[in-house]
Amino acid sequence: MTTQSASKIDFSKVDEIIQSYGAKKSNLIAILQKVQETFRYLPEDAMIYIGTKIDGLSPATVYGVATFYAQFSLEPKGKYEIKVCDGTACHVRGSMPVLNAIKARLNIKSGQLTTDDGLFSLETVSCLGACGLAPVVVINEKVYPQMTSDAVKLILDTIFQEEA
């Protein structure tokens, strides 16, 4: 029998995080947040590990919490995290064509989160509270207002050039 996934992570880091918060069920969310910050996502093995180290939890229950809250990601995020707002205002002002332009430029399929080279991850989010600037795209915390398909392609081209 093997229950583990192929990717290897450094469990001493996970251990440190568990110890720093205390191995208690009530600290789970804080522990998961820190693990996500450290690894840029929640690796499956880290969730199993936490599930077996804290009494009253199990791998399945940790996974349950990780998939309940939108803040957690089970896939590695890209170096550039792109968020396209699809709140009502942004949607009406054309966020979907912008999203499709990004997908085409990054060659990313529907349902896929991160590009194969790990450079970009792409997701849609609900209203960012900047409706006056709609449609809005956020790349690593930087807000790009009033996006169009052409404008977003230019921004991505610049990043590609920097990374080349």
Partner 1 sequence: MTENKKTLFIDDKEVEFTNEPNVLEVIRKAGLNVPTFCYRPDLTQYGSCRMCVVEIEGRGIQSSCTMPPEAGLKIHLNTEKTRRIRKTVLELLLANHDRECTTCDKSGHCELQKYCEEYGIRDIKFPTLQKEDFLPLDTSNPSIIRDPNKCILCGACVRACTEFQGHSILGFANRGSKTLVQPMAGRDFSKTDCIYCGQCQAVCPTGALTIVSDVDNVWKDITNKDKKVVAQIAPSIRVALGEMFGLEPGENTIGLITAALRKIGFDLVFDTNFAADLTIMEEANEFIERLKSGENLPIFTSCCPAWVKYIEQSRPKFLKNLSTCKSPLSMLSPVLKELLPKYFEGYTKENLSVVSIMPCTAKKIEINRCQLGTCGVQYTDFVLTTQELGRMIKEAGIDFKNLPPETADSPFGQYSGAGTIFGASGGVAEAAARTAYEVVTGKELKDVDIVQFRGTSDRSKTIELDLNGTKVTVRVVSTILEAEKALREIESGTANFQMLEVMACPGGCINGGGQPYSYNDTTIKAKRAAGLYKEDKGLPVRKSHENPDIKKLYAEFLKEPGSHKAHELLHTTYEDLFKGSYRDLK
**Where along the sequence are the contacts to partner 1 (CB under 8 A)?**
1-4, 11, 44-45, 47-49, 51-52, 57-64, 67-68, 74
- 63 vs 34: CA distance, rounded Å: 15
Structure tokens at 156: 């991505």
* From the list ligand FES, partner 1, none, partner contacted by residue 128 (C-beta under 5 to 8 A by kind): ligand FES
Token pair for 56: 């009253």
Q: Which is nearer to ligand FES, 4 or 126 (CB)?
A: 126
The one among 74, 130, 138, 151 contacting ligand FES by CB under 6 A: 130
User: CA–CA separation, 107 vs 154, rounded Å?
Assistant: 16
- Residue (18 or 98) nearer to ligand FES, CB: 98
Residue 107 binds ligand FES, judged by CB under 6 A: no
The nearer residue to partner 1, 31 or 156, going by C-beta atoms, is 31
Would you give the distance in Å from CA 41 to the centre of its chain?
A: 7
49 binds, among ligand FES, partner 1, none (CB under 5 to 8 A by kind): partner 1
User: Cα–Cα distance between 133 and 123 in angstroms, integer?
Assistant: 19
- Secondary structure of residue 132 in the 3-state scheme: helix
Q: CA geometry: angle at 43 spanning 10 and 120, to 5°?
A: 110
- What is the contact surface with ligand FES in residues (CB under 6 A)? 85, 87-90, 127-131, 134, 136
